[in-house]
Structure 1
Amino acid sequence: MPGTVGRVPTPATPVPGASTGPGAAAVLAHDWAGTSLGPPEGWDPAVRAVVDLILASPMPMALAYGDDLVLLYNDGYADLLGSKHPAALGRPSAEVYAEIWTLPGVGEVIERAYRQGVPFLEKESTLPMVRGRSGVAEQAVFTRSHSPVRDSTGQIVGMLTIAAETTHVTEQLQGLSEVAAALAGTLTLDDVARVALRYAIRTFDADRVAFAVDEGGGGWRMVRRVRGELMDEADERLPPLWRRIPADWSAPVVDAARSGGPSFTRDGQPLREIAVDRHDQKIRSLAALPLGTSVVRGGLAVGYQVPHTWSAAERALLAASAELIGQAAERARRFETQHGTAQLLQRSMLPENLPDLPRLRIAARYDPGVDGNAAGGDFYDAFLLPTGGLGVVLGDVAGHDVQAAARMGQVRAALRALALADPAPDAVLAGLDRLVTSLGAEAGTHELFVTVVFGVIDADRREFTLASAGHPAPLIRRCTPDGRSHSEYLTMPVGPPLGLGGRPATTTVAFRPGDTLLLFSDGVVERRRQSLTVGLDALGDAVAKAGSSDPRALCAVATAAVPGGTEDDVAVLAVEHALMPSRSASMEVPAEPTAPSRVRHWMSGQLTEWQVPEAVIGAAVLCTSELTTNALLHAGTAARVEIDLSPERLLVSVADSGTRGTVTRARTDTLSSRGRGLGLIEQLSDAWGTDPTVRGSTVWFEILIPPAERR
């Protein structure tokens, strides 16, 4: 009768060559006499044959014997049991799997197959498995089968289980879905590289991954990541460290990109000829696949430090990954081309340099809205007037296209010309109103929407005179003698936007030493499904609580003050009326491997001469060295380091003049490692930020001088 235990009390003859592994010896040495299976010398020949098969197989296999389904298993199955082995030997299955036995599809399936003699196969089942000593269950995916085992009389005496864990394969497939979603949000090749490297190193559990693309005009650039490489959140925000390589460079990832076909090395030294360090030299197995796109030639490489057999499933997953990455790279290449043109147009119409004055410190920031792929109409300017005052303006021409940017350029140029002739704010805006009316008539539209706020700062009289044509009122951060600060929006009449025949009234307010003026576009404070009052309050609160009144720091604070994204352009102009003139110095940094050390020496000497506290000098020199290194590696062009010291703070900026140059031919690893990245800047400075410029970008940081050490 099915389920009846039968046993022939005659010694079984071992199968030649079976049961010879170290695990098999331990299994046979187990005390089976106290179980329903009995001592090995009394096992039924058919049962012994099944046992020999199990112990000789590399596949995870187990015998559940008798009505209590006592477990006997091999080394492969022991790996699945984890910490349950070896205590699970000879114990009933229901006890070994007590935490999952009653779950649907577990105990009932095994018992039914045993009682009824019906084989069972499940290609994928997810079960909670306790693996470590912590006792915490984790989800594991298996392909498993249960088949009845019969003795020599044909009676069912147990169940043969064959199991293969597919958790890793399932996780890889899930990872493919996740990387597809992540790649959908990428805009640039830098973004694609970050996602591709992070995905590949994690999903394939690789020792080294690399991503390479052609430069479009000959040559290649490649970026890699190695196992254990320290990457913090600040590093992830930086552009990847691309290596420029010549057009004839021979490497598996580039060869795959050129040929359009993959290559797989099971064991060897695939990177021996092009290794740049020990990480490359240690790679023994490597898969290199083309991205599979006609627009961008490129490749993805995954490597291990041990021999690795590339299964058909793994090759298919790699090919699918490379295809997704290639599609994202193609979109990114198109975006970068359009984005670069739009941004060049936009920034060429903004001032490349703002006035450098001893008592008035000026900074501005512009971030494009929408997807950064179109020129916009926001603009700012600051310029000296014949009267000795400083003219400041911030405006917004509606639209996100080339026409809006062109009109913005016309309005900005006309405003400066009008102000140089007569700086009275109401007169300047009246003249602009006539210009916008004319432009609208010329274009055959009455929907040309332009708002502007223009004012004149008189540092000697400590006052600011301004007028607004439909633009938000500026914000002033005021500091009291005891060091406290608060912010207030200027109370002023706001006239209609330009082109409607209005003449805004002029307002004059106090602008004393220690105050900082902030002009901003509506993209700073407006958010969808949110009251404008909420945004204005958030901006005022953030500016009041800022660590210092430095204009560059306040620009960064202002652009991040209101949570949530915006589709509008963001423009900010800040002017600080300094309590005391600051001291400034600058250094041109050539694109050479020795440049960071030269910057450290120069800066240490300059700050020591200015009698800056030693703690501030140490932190500033270390941060500047990191920023200089990053600028040289990322931009590949000469950089400029500027330091500005006031009684309250030290401001340092490092500006590059390009985004895709070539570092002087030297091993880039002779420069300091970026492993610390901007994590150092975040830890050692009081504020930091990045500012795009007309040509390149600027990274800056600010360190406050302790009150007790101010001079």
Structure 2
Amino acid sequence: MVGMGSSLAMTTLPDQTGVPPERALDCAELVRRHPWAATSLGPAEAWDPVVRATVDMLLASPVPMVLAYGDDHVMIYNDAYAEVLGARHPAALGRPAAEVFGELWHTPGVGGVIADVYRTGQPFLEAETQVAVARGAAGHVEQASFTRGHSVIRDLHGGIVGVLTVAAETTQVTRRLQSLGDLTARLASALTIDDVARVVLAYGMTSFDVDHCVFAVDDGTEFRYVRRIRGEMMDEADERLPPLWKRFAPDPDSPMVTAAQTGRPTFQADGSPLAKIASDRHERRIRALAAMPLRTPLLRGALTMGYRTAHTWLPAERALLYAAAELVAQAAERARRFEAQHGTAQLLQRSMLPEHLPELDRFRIAARYDVGVDGNAAGGDFYDAFELSDGRLAMVLGDVAGHDVRAAAVMGQVRAALRALALTDPAPGTVLAGLDRLVGSLGAESRNEEIFVTVVYGVLDPTDGTITLASAGHPPPVLRRADPEGGPASAELVLVPPGAPLGLGGRWRTTVLQLEPGDSILMFSDGVVERRDRPLSAGLADLVAAAAGATSGDPRNLCSLATAAVSGSTDDDVAVLAVERAVALSRSATMLVPAEPTGPSRVRQWMSTRLREWSVPEPVIGAAILCTSELTTNALLHAGTPAQVHIDLSAERLLVSVADTGTRGSVTRARTDALSSRGRGLGLIEELSDTWGTDPTVRGSTVWFEMLIPPR
């Protein structure tokens, strides 16, 4: 480290002879044994008293120190500096620095610093520099930060005989400042209180290496908190799961409550700060605790960090905690605002969509709606499917331009009017003509001619599978044809006669197609296929290819594939509706699982009985029960509500879905990447099923998987 710059950390010196036998000796012993007579220092017994005192001082110091002696800068250093040298030690001891560092010694900022101090006698303080340091018995190399001071050593006669370098390691301070920057970046992308909690707990445990970290926010008259303790096993899947919050009353003996209510931080260096409120042995073992308030106009909370040993909270550390708490408080308030706005938009959006789709003997129906933009605004996409008085099925998918409450309101009016019109006269031409008049009237009332609504509407006759379709400016559906001989399926866009969007006084023509057993039809909004950097035709081609390559024509599977068929992100909402004509009648059963520890075992027993009654092959039964148990456990633990398990068996596949009705107050989101309390559920579903996915519903979410039945 004598005058070295950051570039020296990347340099590897040649192997030095004699290193292994001497590595076990400390520097004091190596200095005693070294043949100094062969160096510019001369025999040790003849050293100048000042030089000897300097060497004795640096050998006894725990701080990295090195003496560069004489015109050739012979190096004498201590054990702390030896760790910095790494593989260069012990061969560097007693050698000129230029030989130790080679060509780097002559580069700017390295040897020149020592030479200038030695020549001028003026001390010099170097700014922080990164150096590679070997840590621990295993010699693990890591980057450390040091600030170095160089000063001259004079002999008894006042002559300059060397330069003493003292290195102060600032690695911990530097890393904490860097981690504060990382905290800022991560909090900027945290949308919900759950997200903020995950970021804060990870920050406290890694940056401050604490034994106990708690994040708490007010929840009405009470508080709720989530904590992390040292030794907790948390894998990547666990980190993505919703944190398990606990509620507690405002106990005046709680440092966390005191900080949240008064807005004043508290620091205890040693004692039993949690003794009066400890709920388990982990809290009783805490001796040092910092409690930082989190206060904004909309939020009261606290962040606490504790150690199991005494800990002095130094001013620099307190300042860092103040800054972190301010960042966390602001992020928590933003998250609370987002959740409130998001919840309102989601409730408005999903209240206008059907909660349940019709169940027909030989036709399966599924739909999916994904919010676009940032998920914080209602949109105008909608779908619907309902039975008519004569037994036929009306199905529709539409899009009202816009991403605001007004677009959602128009969507709700259009959907309600369509139902009323279809129940009176379901003919596509008649329904679209009535909707056209409605949209034109709405535009006139608002004095806004820019209400843009597109719709594709069809009527399915279950007796023969015919569908009569008409489109008002909407993308055509995709028709997936199954091969009766068991070969690959095919897919194509339905040639629906083009028609003007609603509100323009157009005329609409219809087309008729027929679904054969195994065929499916997929309606979709333009958010599925439109991308800013690609032509619409490319998106349509990708969607058709995805439908043709689907493992089955199951509507749930098609909806899941459709939302991911076109690469790239979209800012638009996405709505899809799929209908399949089954090859044969399917058998189904449903079980409501209470939120109890025995729930998963009851599901396993129920499924085993049903599937064996239906003569499902044993390998499929075992895999299906294992996957269902994982999904049920996830729903019960992390949604906190009863779960509904539905199984549907057809000749070619077994479909299992697990639905929950709650999200512990957080934003309703698909949990495709957060299955199982220990993170193994996702791998199981991917490994054992043929396809799987998640569907957000009006109240909660549904995770499902499909397993193909091998031919007998």
Q: Same fold (TM over 0.5)?
A: yes
Pairing 1:547–2:547 present: no
**Structure 1 pair 60–137 and aligned structure 2 pair: CA distance change class (3 A):** closer
Q: Does the CA-based 8 Å contact 2:58-2:65 persist in structure 1?
A: yes
Match for 2:407 among 404, 407, 416?
A: 404
1:175 corresponding residue in structure 2: 179
Query: Which segment drifts farther, 125-134 or 565-574?
Result: 125-134
Residues in 2 aligned to 1:252 and 1:278: alpha-carbon distance in whole angstroms:
17
Q: Structure 2 vs 1, CA of residues 123 and 375 (structure 1 numbering), >3 Å: closer, same or farther?
A: same
Task: Note closer, same or farther for the CA distance 1:459–1:531 as it changes in structure 2 (3 Å cut).
Answer: same
1:432 aligns to 2:435 (yes or no): yes
> 2:47 corresponds to which residue?
43
Q: 1:342 to 1:71 in 2, by over 3 A?
A: same
Deviates more, 1:548-557 or 1:340-349: 548-557
Deviation of 1:423 (Å): 1.8
The answer for the alignment partner of 1:697 in structure 2 is: 701
Say whether 1:315 aligns with 2:306: no
Match of 1:256, SS state, is helix
1:282-317 residue CA offsets vs partner (Å, 9 max, x unmatched): 655443322242322223334455554433222222
Answering whether residue 418 of structure 2 is matched by residue 453 of structure 1, we say: no
SS in 1 for 2:244: coil
Q: Is 1:474 paired with 2:485?
A: no
Pair 1:215 & 2:184 matched = no
- The Cα of 1:160 is off from its aligned counterpart by 0.7
| Amino acid paired to 1:446 | E
Which of 369, 373, 380 in structure 2 is aligned with 1:370? 373
Aligned to 1:332: 335
User: Aligned letter for 2:420?
Assistant: A
Gaps of 5+ in 2: 1-24, 667-674
Asked if 1:115 is matched to 2:152, the reply is no
With over 3 angstroms needed to count, the CA separation of the structure-2 counterparts of 1:522 and 1:259, relative to structure 1, is same
Which shifted more, 132-141 or 595-604? 132-141
* Equivalences for residues 130-529 of structure 1 within 5 A: 139-224=143-228, 226=230, 229-232=233-236, 234-248=237-251, 252-266=255-269, 285-304=288-307, 307-480=310-483, 481-529=485-533
The answer to whether 1:94 aligns with 2:59 is no
Residue 45 of structure 1: how far off its partner (Å)? 0.8
Report the alpha carbon displacement of residue 464 of structure 1 after superposing the two structures with TM. 2.0
Give the letter aligned to residue 324 of structure 1: L
Q: Find the counterpart in structure 2 of residue 533 from structure 1.
A: 537
Query: What code does the residue aligned with 1:360 have?
Result: F
Deviation at 1:150, TM superposition (A): 1.3
> Within 2, Cα distance between the matches of 1:271 and 1:553?
52
SS of 2:147's equivalent in the other structure is strand
In 2, the alpha carbon distance for the partners of 1:251 and 1:602 equals 47
TM-score of the superposed pair, with normalisation by structure 2: 0.87
Contact 1:257 1:298 (8 Å CA) reproduced: yes
Contact 2:692 2:704 in 1 (8 A): yes
What secondary structure does 2:197 align onto? helix
In structure 2, do the counterparts of structure 1 residues 583 and 221 end up closer, same or farther at CA, with 3 Å as the change threshold?
farther
Amino acid at match of 2:326: E
Question: Alpha-carbon deviation of 1:404?
Answer: 1.9
SS at match of 1:597: helix
Question: What's the CA shift for 1:348?
Answer: 0.8
Partner of 2:562: 558
Give the counterpart of 1:601 among 596, 599, 605. 605
Larger deviation, residues 164-173 vs 492-501: 164-173
Q: 1:542 to 1:168 in 2, by over 3 A?
A: farther
In 2, are the aligned partners of 1:122 and 1:144 still within 8 Å (CA)? yes
Q: Supply the distance in 2 between the matched residues of 1:185 and 1:68 (Cα, whole angstroms).
A: 55
Task: Name the SS of the counterpart of 1:257 in structure 2.
Answer: helix
Higher alpha-carbon deviation: 339-348 or 269-278:
269-278
C-alpha distance in 2 between matches for 1:241 and 1:189: 12
Cα gap change, 1:607/1:225 in structure 2, threshold over 3 Å: closer, same or farther? Answer: farther
Residues 702 and 502 from structure 1, CA distance in 2 versus in 1: closer, same or farther, beyond 3 angstroms?
same
Which string of whole-angstrom CA distances, capped at 9 and with x for unpartnered residues, describes residues 364-416 of structure 1?
11122222222211110011122322211000112222222222111111111
Q: Distance in 1 between matches of 2:579 and 2:254?
A: 52
Checking the alignment, whether the CA contact within 8 Å between 2:84 and 2:132 is kept in structure 1 is no
In 2, Cα distance between equivalents of 1:680 and 1:280:
36
Equivalent of residue 569 in structure 1, options 573, 577, 584: 573
Kept in 1, the 8 Å contact 2:256–2:302? The answer is yes
Identity %: 65
Change (3 A) 1:417 1:661: same
Question: Which secondary structure does the structure 2 equivalent of 1:123 belong to?
Answer: coil
Q: Distance in 2 between matches of 1:569 and 1:350?
A: 14
RMSD, matched Cα: 3.0
**Amino acid paired to 1:461:** D
Task: Describe the SS at the equivalent of 2:589.
Answer: strand
The corresponding residue for 1:3 is none
Aligned residues of 2:145 and 2:174 also touching (Cα < 8 A)? yes
Q: Give the partner amino acid of 1:374.
A: A
Q: Label 1:143 to 1:416 Cα distance change in 2 as closer, same or farther (>3 A).
A: same
SS of the aligned residue for 1:159 comes to strand
* Distance verdict in 2 for CA 1:137–1:59, change over 3 Å: closer
* Whole-Å separation in 2 of the counterparts to 1:258 and 1:288: 12
Aligned-partner SS, 1:219: strand
Find the aligned partners of 1:574 and 1:46 in 2 and give their Cα distance: 90
Q: Distance in 2 between matches of 1:490 and 1:312?
A: 71
| Counterpart residue number, 1:634 | 638
Distance 2:688 2:103 in 1: 50
The alpha-carbon deviation at position 39 of structure 1 amounts to 4.3
CA 1:634 to 1:443, structure 2 compared with 1: closer, same or farther past 3 Å? same
Following superposition, the deviation at residue 230 of structure 1 comes to 3.7
CA contact (8 A) 1:207 1:303 kept: yes
Q: Deviations over 1:660-700 (max 9, x none)?
A: 279xxxxxxxx984343534433433333332221222222
**Change in 2 beyond 3 A, CA 1:108/1:478:** farther
Distance 2:296 2:209 in 1: 26
1-structure distance, mates of 2:454, 2:283: 57
Query: Per the alignment, in what secondary structure is the counterpart of residue 477 of structure 1?
Result: strand
The separation in 1 between residues aligned to 2:613 and 2:268, in whole angstroms, is 59
Structure 2 contact 366–577 (Cα < 8 Å) conserved: yes
* Distance in 1 (alpha carbons) for counterparts of 2:660 and 2:455: 31
